[in-house]
Amino acid sequence: MIMKINSKASLDEAILQLEKRRLMQEEELIAQFKATRESLSPVNLIKDGFTRLTEMPGLGTGLLKTVAGMGVGVLSKKLFLGKSSSLVKKLLAGVFEFAVAKTTINNADKVKAYGLSLYHNLFKKNSNHKHVNED
């Protein structure tokens, strides 16, 4: 935007245009800063990382299977073995946890199908009983 300035009025007009442009750029810069700051918050970084991992072909299901297997392994160890101060029991508990986790990961589809079936049977029966009692 090149203006030919040959009078005080054209100089004033050029100054006004430049000030408007500066204010607009400043507002855009502030808005971009706020958006960048929000995207770099720890919660958004973690959320974005998990979203990208689950969107990768094949990796999302593998990651979910691994997390589910590890969760079931830890839960089963806590439920069946509890806490122990014995070194031998701790080693056996670790082996047990690993075995349960590996079995769950290897049979994730079967575990998922069984869990869904159990879920549907529990809640479908409850909803059927409610309808029978209401009549």
For 69, other C-beta atoms within 10 Å of its C-beta total 21
The predicted pLDDT at position 56 comes to 62
Mean pLDDT by 10 residues, the chain (135 residues): 81 93 96 89 76 62 68 71 71 76 74 74 62 47
Nearest to 69, CA basis, from 14, 22, 12, 110: 110
Structure-block tokens of residue 6: 């040959």
The predicted pLDDT at position 55 comes to 65
User: Residues with Cβ < 8 Å from 76, sequence gap 6 or more?
Assistant: 96, 97, 100
- Listed by start position, the domains of the chain span 60-134
The predicted pLDDT at position 47 comes to 76
